[in-house]
Amino acid sequence: MRKPVAFVPGEKYPSISITGTACSLMCTYCESRYLHSMTAAPSPDALYRFALRHAARGGVGILVSGGFTREGRLPLEPFLPVLSRIKEETNLILSVHPGLPARGTPAALRGAGIDIVDYEVPTSDAFIRKIKKLPGRSVEDYLEGFDRFVAEGPRFIAPHITVGLPGATLDDELVVAREVVRRRPYLVVVLVFIPTRGTGVSGIQAPGLERVLMFLRSLRAMYRGLIALGCMRPASMKEALDDAVVREGLVDRIVNPRRSLIKRYGLPVVEACCSVPHELLGGKPALTPTR
C-alpha cells in the first residue's frame, strides 16, 4: 500500500475572498456562510498587499475565491492586473476558483500567470438549476467550461466532483466521473456534500459512508491519475472515511486528516492546497498515483 500524502494548507495556503462576505448568487447550500471563514481582500490593492505580506512570511500560495455573480462566475476581471503583478513579484502559487467561464476568461487567467484552476463539475441538472440557482444551466455547460479552460486556460485545471449533492444519484456521479476522466486531467478532487446548518439544505441528509466509498472505488478503478480527497467532507464521517480510504488505497492525497491518522499511518505532510501539482511543489515529496 502506497501511503497518501496529507495536504494541510493552513496559513501557508489561505483562501481569499475577493468579494468579502458578499455573494450575488447565494446558492442554497452555502448562502455566503463559507465566505466568512476566508481572508477578505475585496479590492485589487487589498489583495496585492495581502499577497506581499503572505509571501514575506513564507507563504506557499493562495486560493482566490469569493462570492459569485448571478451568472455563476467569480468577478475576477478587476483583479487580473494585480494577480499578474503578484506572480511577477513573488514566488506564490496562484490558484483560482472561477466558476463558469465567460468568453475570454480562460485565456485571461493564463495571461495573468494563474497556475491552477479549481473547477467544480456538478453532477446533476436539478442541483444546478434549483440549488445553485442557475436555471438555464446544465452539467453539459460545466463540462464545456472545463474543456474551454483546458484548451485556453492555465496549464493545470483541477476538476472537483462532490458526492451526495441534492438531486444527484450515484449513477449521476459516475456518469460525470467518466466524462471527467475521459478528458485525462492530471488530478481529480473528490468532495462530500455537507448539509450546512442555517442554509436551505440543512435538513437534507449527507451521503452515507458506503455511498462515498462506492464512488471512490469506482473512480479508482477507472482512473490511474492522482485522486485527492478534498477539504469538504462531513465531520461526522471524517474519521471513518479517512481511515478507509487510506487502508484501501483509494486516494493519493487527503486534506486535513486528523493528526492521529497522520501519525498512525506515517503520512508525509505538505503545507499546500491539494490540487497543487508536484511540478510546483519544489522540494516536497514526489507525488505519484497510488496505482
* Burial environment of residue 208 by CB neighbours within 10 A (0 to 12, 13 to 18, 19 or more): exposed
- Domain-by-domain residue ranges, the chain? 5-274
Angstrom distance (rounded) from CA 249 to CA 159: 20
pLDDT confidence of residue 283: 53
Q: Widest CA span of the chain, in angstroms?
A: 48
**Digitized pLDDT (tens) for each residue of the chain, 291 residues in all:** 679 999 999 999 999 999 999 999 999 999 999 999 999 999 999 999 999 999 999 999 999 999 999 999 999 999 999 999 999 999 999 999 999 999 999 999 999 999 999 999 999 999 999 999 999 999 999 999 999 999 999 999 999 999 999 999 999 999 999 999 999 999 999 999 999 998 999 999 999 999 999 999 999 999 999 999 999 999 999 999 999 999 999 999 999 999 999 999 999 999 999 999 999 987 554 444 444
pLDDT confidence of residue 223: 97
Q: What is the CATH number of domain 5-274?
A: 3.20.20.70
pLDDT confidence of residue 286: 41
Q: Can you spell out the DSSP letters for 44-102? A: HHHHHHHHHHHHHTT--EEEEE-PPPTTSB---GGGHHHHHHHHHHS--EEEE--BSPP
Q: What count of other Cβ atoms lies within 10 Å of the Cβ of residue 188? A: 23
What is this structure's pTM? 0.95
Which residue's C-alpha cell is 456521479? Answer: 173
Return the bridge partners of 94, or none: 62
Encoded amino acid at 291, one letter: R
Q: Do the Cβ atoms of 229 and 190 come closer than 8 Å?
A: yes
Which residue's C-alpha cell is 455547460? Answer: 141
Q: Which candidate, 151, 153, 145, 142, places its Cα nearest to that of 111?
A: 153
* Burial environment of residue 231 by CB neighbours within 10 A (0 to 12, 13 to 18, 19 or more): middle
pLDDT confidence of residue 2: 76
